[in-house]
Amino acid sequence: QVQLVESGGGLVKPGGSLRLSCAASGFTFSDYYMTWIRQAPGKGLEWVSYITSGGTIIYYADSVKGRFTISRDNAKNSLYLQMNSLRAEDTAVYYCARSLGPMDVWGKGTTVTVSS
């Protein structure tokens, strides 16, 4: 079945780095744009970044620009988010989602906690 599974979350100190992964299965990964969305504890949804199917066009939210890098490996059916210079306000559940327009399939999320 169509599935997205995030991994790589954890506890990191301010200023530290983490790399999130999203493994896709059950569909042709290379046909879809992919997106990262996050949700801080008790808060709403915040779009973080997206990457087109071939990886040629990338956008970031202003809140993460210059610190986060999205990438994908279509041969491995995988999406990544390299997060550097992490701040307390980056603490959130991070979801990956596929899209060809609306985000129609989401993973269950991975939790990132930035704290000393």
Distance, in Å, from the CA atom of 21 to the CA atom of 7, rounded to the nearest integer, reads: 5
Q: How far is the CB of 75 from other proteins (least distance, A)?
A: 26
H/E element, 51: strand 45-51
Please count the residues of the chain.
Answer: 116
Q: How far is the CB of 77 from other proteins (least distance, A)?
A: 19
109 binds other proteins (CB under 8 A): yes
Distance, in Å, from the CA atom of 74 to the CA atom of 86, rounded to the nearest integer, reads: 27
Member of 1, 75, 101, 116 binding other proteins (CB under 8 A): 101
Residues that bind other proteins (CB under 8 A): 35, 37, 44-47, 50, 59-62, 95, 99, 101-104, 106-109
